[in-house]
Structure 1
Amino acid sequence: MEKLKQEMQDELLSILNYWTENTVDETNGGFIGTIDFSENKDYTADKGSVLNARILWAFSAAYPVTKNEKHLQLAQRAYDYIARHFYDKEHGGIFWSVDHQGNHKDTKNQIYALAFTVYGLSEYYAVSQNEEALALAKKLYEQIEKHSYDPVYKGYLEAFTRDWHPIDDLRLSDKDANEKKTMNTHLHIVEGYANLYKVWPDKELKNKIAELLHTINKHFINETTGHLRLFFSEDWIEKPDVISYGHDIEAAWLLQWCAEVIQDESLINAYKTHAVQMADATFEGLDKDGGLWYEYDPQEERLIAEKHWWPQSELWIGMVNAWQITGDVKYLKAVEKNWQFVQQYILDKKNGEWIWGINADYSKIEKDKAGFWKCPYHNSRACMELIGRL
């Protein structure tokens, strides 16, 4: 464990160093929108709100671990850019994207993006005590509750226009089902809310977190299989889809953490049970090389035979958490083997950071090193969690 902990400390610094050295946009402000697989920096690429919120979170969360003033400065840079360019001062939302000069581009209010911005802002407030950042996090929380919360069926709706009207295309990405309620968005709303509660222990916010955890428990967790249900209509009719191994193991530890933040013993106990069952179910997606497959389609009985970077990260935390609950070393061994897999196939030893992933034949998936979805959040968080837990 000491060896693994030291390796996590080294890897955290390596990840942060890549983002420090390569992603600051000195030409247009903020951070570069895209760095491709070949390390080409596109200074004219659009910039995504999720990427910037995750950069804000990562450097804010890292600062107490690294004590590196540069990391705090980069967190401030991310906050300043979000407050100036992504926050919609007219309608109170978050733009999905801006162009390379910071002018709003895709103006939809994707609740997922608002939730991640709350997550990043609250982490930044914890290290900066910047009251404006906390105020903005509260405003976004209030907007989510005002516009996205469903008082009839409970849960939260996916997306809206800039001025908060219904929108036809609710999807987070092209691969998603166009449904009004999704596991992914609920998972990250409760994550953002719990992080906000750590710095602003408001009673109503606590109640909302508890309600979210009950809603997730009721609708999204399949207690028969240990997997997550992903897509639903407004009135909770499931739209069957793939098994997402990365989301399963991420939810396994993250939902327990949310219950622990609000110190609700009944929810903590329920989610500890889920955490172990979901970790056990995730073993279905582990390959003999220690890597975690991306998804499985049970309708077609077909494996989506790719191993992406982020599910490996979440595997570490979810399995270490299951080991902490049970004491069973099989979970710790899964982490050790997966870390060997990551070092062999996912780390970019030449340029730094992690590649997007590999195909079944071990060829590299030639997608972004940094971009809308390729962020320093999953892997830096995994390192920080293991440093703390080990």
Structure 2
Amino acid sequence: MLSLAQFKEEVTKELYSILDYWMLHVVDHQQGGFYGKIDHDDTVFPEALKGSVLNSRICWSFAAAYNQTQKTQYLRIAERAYEYIVEHFIDPDYGGVYWTVTASGQPADTKKQTYAIAFAVYGLSEYYRASGDEAAKQHAIDLYRTIIQHAAEPVHGGYLEAFARDWSDLPDMRLSAKDANERKTMNTHLHVLEAFANLYRIWPEPALKKQIIQLIDIFSHHIIHPYTQHLQLFFSDDWEPRSTLISYGHDIEAAWLIQEAAEVIREDILLKEISTRSVQIAIAAAEALDADGGLWYEFDPATNHWAREKHWWPQAEAMVGFFNAWQITHDENFLKNAIGSWKFIQEFLIDSHKGEWIWGVYENYHIIAQEDKAGLWKCPYHNGRACLEIMRRIQ
């Protein structure tokens, strides 16, 4: 099995490769910010819409990389992302962030997706940690308060999915075309928790801590299935599950992100409870591991249907989630799973010729070539963060 020292060396090299790709290919020198789309063949679409989630994830990725490596070129890219978010994505009239802007930076889709606002909080908080820029910290706090003011559901707790620009109701609240049109989702709550935890690192307000504790409680009592330990994905306002679908990538991502939130707020009793739950979730996610080390995408027990694809981001999260479970339990099988995920990534996902990772492969290992290298959903956040986490945890 790969030694920890070699594991760290290999993911460190890959982190630099990923970030080099984004610095070299994705910076939009003509219209500002970053290109909205680069396809599988590395063709740039200079007039593509630019997404707030992508820009926030770029901001976080390069700020986090600077915080860990102190390489100044990463701070410059983070600053570019930060300035673009402030100038073009934050709505000066109604608050929150637009979903997309045009290639030249004008508002395009102005809906307010709670998920997107959370990622802006996440990215801006990390940029403050890198730069010490008080304006960035204030923007992060303001966006947090916007979520609390407009998205919090007062009766049953948690946060509603989406709104029109002026915070009126939307008939279609879906984050993407593949999602169910429900008012509460696991995915948004996971990334609100992630964002609030990162904000707490720079702004340890008691009210924010209370929100984090409430979110962890929501995961423990509503989102994590009490018997299977898989995450349930879609809900009514009163937390009635609206789907049986299992997303293994989200399982293994939540297995370490929820624990991280408990660590950040320094609640020892809660952390002990969540660490036990994290291991249970990791065990549940491991049901989807293939013999090659890859993690299958989804399964619906109601129809017995598997989505037998291996996408880039669940493999990245599997590296961290299984490594985290090994750190808790010292069970070598979890470490083997983490390293197995990395070996799968090396063999099938890293584009050794052009850089970055491809979207994924089908069951027969044919490449999913219709998806992007960079786009509304394809970013340096999952894979870059996985490398950073493994580097930090081994160190």
Give the TM-score of the pair, scaled to structure 1.
Answer: 0.99
CA distance in 2, matches of 1:247, 1:216: 13
Q: Contact 2:321–2:338 (CA<8 Å) still a contact in 1?
A: no
> Which residue in the other structure is 1:247 paired with?
250
Which amino acid in 2 is paired with 1:381? R
The one-letter code matched in structure 1 to 2:171 is D
User: Paired residue for 1:9?
Assistant: 12
Unpaired runs of 5+ residues, structure 2, are: none
Letter in 2 for 1:288: A
Q: CA–CA distance in 2 between the matches of 1:384 and 1:368? A: 23
3-state SS of 1:369 partner: strand
Whichever residue aligns with residue 369 of structure 1, its letter is K
**Worse overlay, 61-70 or 372-381:** 61-70
Name the amino acid aligned to 1:371. Answer: G
173, 178, 201: which one aligns with 2:176? 173
Aligned sequence identity (%):
52
**Are 1:262 and 2:268 matched, yes or no?**
no
Which of 365, 370, 382 is residue 368 of structure 2 equivalent to? 365
Moved over 4 A (4+): none
State which drifts further: 105-114 or 240-249. 240-249
User: Could you tell me which residue of structure 2 aligns to residue 299 of structure 1?
Assistant: 302
SS of the aligned residue for 2:373 comes to coil
Distance of 1:266 and 1:109 partners within structure 2: 36
- How do 1:33-44 residues align onto structure 2 when only pairs under 5 Å count? 33-44=36-47
Of the three residues 215, 219, 227, the one matched with 1:216 is 219
d(CA) in 2 for partners of 1:184 and 1:209? 16
Q: CA deviation at 1:340?
A: 1.3
- The residue number in structure 2 matching 1:377 is 381
Question: How big is each residue's C-alpha offset from its partner over 1:116-151, in whole Å with a ceiling of 9 and x where there is no partner?
Answer: 000000000001111111111111111100011111
What are the residue-to-residue correspondences of 1:145-224 with 2, within 5 Å?
145-224=148-227
Q: Deviations over 1:49-107 (max 9, x none)?
A: 00000000000000022221111000000000000000000111100000100000000
Aligned equivalent of 1:83: 86
Paired position in structure 1 for 2:319: 316
**1:93 match:** 96
Q: What pairs up with 1:44-63 in 2 under 5 angstroms?
A: 44-63=47-66
Tell me which moved more, 28-37 or 232-241: 232-241
TM-score (norm 2): 0.98
> Which residue of structure 2 lines up, in the alignment, with residue 343 of structure 1?
346
Give me the whole-angstrom Cα distance separating, in 2, the residues matched to 1:334 and 1:149: 37
- CA distance in 1 between counterparts of 2:263 and 2:295 reads 27
SS at match of 2:293: coil
1:185 is displaced (CA, Å) by 0.4
Question: What SS does the aligned partner of 1:333 have?
Answer: helix
Count of paired positions:
390
AA paired with 2:231?
L
Distance 2:286 2:207 in 1: 38
Corresponding residue number in structure 1 for 2:241? 238
Deviation, 1:223, is 2.7
Instruction: Give the structure 2 partner of residue 286 of structure 1.
Output: 289
Alignment of 1:71-150 (within 5 A): 71-150=74-153
Amino acid at match of 2:50: K
CA distance in 2, matches of 1:361, 1:156: 39
Q: Within 1, Cα distance between the matches of 2:99 and 2:299?
A: 29
Q: Give secondary structure in 1 for the equivalent of 2:224.
A: coil
Q: What's the CA shift for 1:339? A: 1.2
**Which residue does the alignment assign to 1:386?**
390
